[in-house]
């Protein structure tokens, strides 16, 4: 029954898998927006009544690409988790605030945004996991960093 009491090493590996997959998924969202064109995404942001939609569209694209990449690499993981949580909370606020959580449709309103925000917050506490740039840099003696 060893699987009921995972070792710290296996838990760290699990966090790494979650971090890499989550970061890659965030990046895919940014890549899709970038490939569709900034103008198209900015138009959909403007249709939501957002002020300065061109700037907000670039911020979301850059956030999804940049924060996703940081998470995939395990670089500044806790900071990336914090900023991603703010980004997803902001997206939720703009797109879903005021809507009922449960409706007659299957599922929960904006469940993907809720999950993404929760996972982002979890990385603030979990850190990067086993394989990451954060861990690699932390193991180097202070004088050997270039």
**43-88 pLDDT, tens per residue?**
999 998 889 999 999 999 999 999 999 999 999 999 999 999 999 9
Judge whether residue 143 has pLDDT over 70: no
**74-127 pLDDT, tens per residue?**
999 999 999 999 999 999 988 877 776 766 776 666 788 999 999 999 999 999
H or E element in which residue 61 lies: helix 53-73
Residue/partner pairs of 108-117 with CB below 8 Å, 24 or more apart? 113/88, 116/22, 116/26, 116/84, 116/88, 117/84, 117/85, 117/88, 117/89, 117/92
- The pLDDT value given to residue 3: 63
Identify the band that residue 141 occupies on the pLDDT scale cut at 50, 70 and 90.
low
- The pLDDT value given to residue 95: 85
């Amino acid at each position: 029954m060893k699987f009921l009491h995972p070792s710290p090493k296996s838990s760290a590996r699990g966090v790494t898998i979650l971090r890499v997959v989550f970061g890659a998924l965030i990046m895919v969202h940014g890549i899709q927006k970038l490939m569709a064109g900034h103008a198209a995404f900015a138009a959909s942001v403007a249709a939501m009544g957002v002020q300065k939609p061109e700037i907000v569209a670039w911020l979301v694209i850059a956030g999804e690409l940049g924060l996703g990449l940081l998470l995939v690499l395990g670089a500044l993981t806790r900071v990336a988790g914090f900023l991603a949580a703010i980004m997803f909370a902001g997206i939720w606020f703009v797109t879903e605030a005021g809507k009922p959580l449960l409706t007659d449709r299957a599922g929960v309103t904006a469940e993907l945004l809720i999950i993404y925000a929760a996972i982002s917050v979890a990385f603030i506490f979990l850190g990067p996991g086993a394989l990451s740039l954060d861990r690699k840099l932390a193991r180097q003696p202070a004088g050997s960093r270039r």
